[in-house]
Amino acid sequence: MKNFDTLYNPYHSQRNPVVAKKGMVATSQPLAAQAGLTILQNGGNAIDAAIATAAALTVVEPTTNGIGGDAFALVWVKDTLYGLNGSGKSPASISIDKVKAAGYDEIPKYGFTPVTVPGQPGAWAELSRRFGKLPFKDLMQPAIQYAEEGYPISPVLAKLWNRAAVRFKEAFEGDEFDHWFETFAPDGQAPKVGEMWKSQDMADTLRELGETECESFYTGNIARKIDEYSKQYDGYIRKEDLAKYKPEWVDPISVNYRGYDVWEIPPNTQGIIALSALNILKHMDIEDKESADTYHKQIEAMKLAFADGEKYIADQAYMKDVTAEDMLDEAYAKERLKLITDKAGQPEAGEPKASGTVYLSTADEEGNMVSFIQSNYMGFGSGLVVPGTGIGLQNRGCDFNLDPESPNALGPDKRSYHTIIPGFITKGKDALGPFGVMGGFMQPQGHVQVAMNTIDFNYNPQTALDAPRWQWIKDKTVWVEKNFPHQIAEDLVKRGHNIEMKLDSGAFGRGQIIWRDPETGILYGGTENRADGHIAAY
């Protein structure tokens, strides 16, 4: 961002950013954004607002997240950036041999096998304890109200909900999945647009979490219910696994990209993939945004970064041979750069040593800012809902593999390779602000595109999100949005890329941005047009 004055340039976007001074909440659901704004107006800070928004999102957007998921946060407080890893570990009793003995050649998506300890409630409580201002139970109140009184279903939410219900009817076998249908499709179908939906079980759970600062989830009544449910269906997760869980404060990692520091959470997340790609791209001449050459360079750098990520990213305790520092080494980035030609390449990992998610941003008048992301994974996660709680359990364990030689091999008490990543940008000692693009393996690709739109092309936050996106899928296959420039797509085909145009923009992630002018403190927000995106500000 060369100059904040360019944010007013009407030629940069058909939609302008939201501009405010006292506080801002940007997320994919208006009701959740309003919950966070209410907390700000009641004396809470950006951290309080983030927690309240996150809790509300579990109710008003259950198609992409839930109470039983994981979370990560980057928190800017008093000129310092903090990282929180709120991902849970695998159960102590699970192993590759047990999963194979159950008849699986790979970890299934649904059921108890991929269930890992949900870290999200613990992350909420930890953020509140360290940086919050208001009582934790107050932060749960908007979510409790939505769950108890109900809310009308929006169009995007209805589409995602129905898609999941149809898929689950075909995929689920066994009465352990009955509780999902009782909670989210009680009449055998998803709620429709404008229909009211509520869950007293979820309201009671959120109230219990508020009153116990989430201790009940890990050592109390809720932990007991999860344990009983798992035992009933021979699941692996136990109350002892829950009791051991603690969120972990981590040092964020970054690369300097053309004078700006772009920050991510370190492994076990795939944030390092975005940084690896930017580390390559910063050594290349990038001039015109809308040119086949620019897109080609972005795609090729992304492919190389993903190849390394797939091979090396795991729980940091198991990354023995290759560290995050190795993957972001400047000399290694230059070696990878040499592999990029004017034709589409086949991605392969290098040797660094040798050379249904929701995202939200918040900001307050004091300068505090939060980049926060949480997910049950693949929409509703494992398809399991703990009876009497409304808690859908995540299925993060399916990102482990069954190769015992891999650093990301399935094992007990281990964090898996994780797709969800919050982002943040600083310049010198000043924070530009939080950003993120949710959506599985689209996320680091979205981070690279948004960061470059901001830094290389001087786009305001709304334009940076509105710009047509691409997603590398595998080998030489690249998906592009329906509004992607056709001439550029044709030029990329000539370079050897297999370009596939997708009509559903939901495949390209959903992002949020808040930038803060360090001189004036004015906030500029962008939200996602591919979702029910909304910015609440005052």
Task: Write out the catalytic residue numbers.
Answer: 357
Strand partners, 18: 525
Task: List, in sequence order, the alpha helices (H) in 382-535.
Answer: 443-455, 461-466, 486-494
CB 414 within 8 A of CB 404: no
Structure tokens at 385: 């809902």
Using alpha carbons, select from 381, 376, 380 the residue that is nearest to residue 185.
380
1-32: b (≥16 Cβ within 10 Å) or e: beebeebeeeebbeebbbebeebbbbbbbbbb
CA dist 85 and 317 (Å) reads 14
CA dist 256 and 119 (Å) reads 30
The CA-atom distances, in angstroms, between 482 and each of 25, 78, 155, 278, 438 are 29, 43, 20, 26, 19
CA dist 147 and 313 (Å) reads 37
Pairing of strands 423-427, 498-502: unpaired
* Sequence-distant (≥ 6) Cβ neighbours of residue 343 within 8 angstroms: 495, 496
Query: Following DSSP, what letter does each residue of 5-35 receive, concatenated?
Result: GGGG-GGG-SSPPEEESSEEEEES-HHHHHH
CB 197 within 8 A of CB 153: yes
CA dist 533 and 344 (Å) reads 34
Which H, E and C letters describe 409-433, residue by residue?
ECCCCCCCCECCCCEEEEECCEEEE
Instruction: Give one word for 10, left, alpha or beta, with left for phi > 0 and alpha for psi -120 to 50.
Output: alpha
* Sequence-distant (≥ 6) Cβ neighbours of residue 292 within 8 angstroms: 488, 491, 492, 495
CA dist 206 and 389 (Å) reads 9
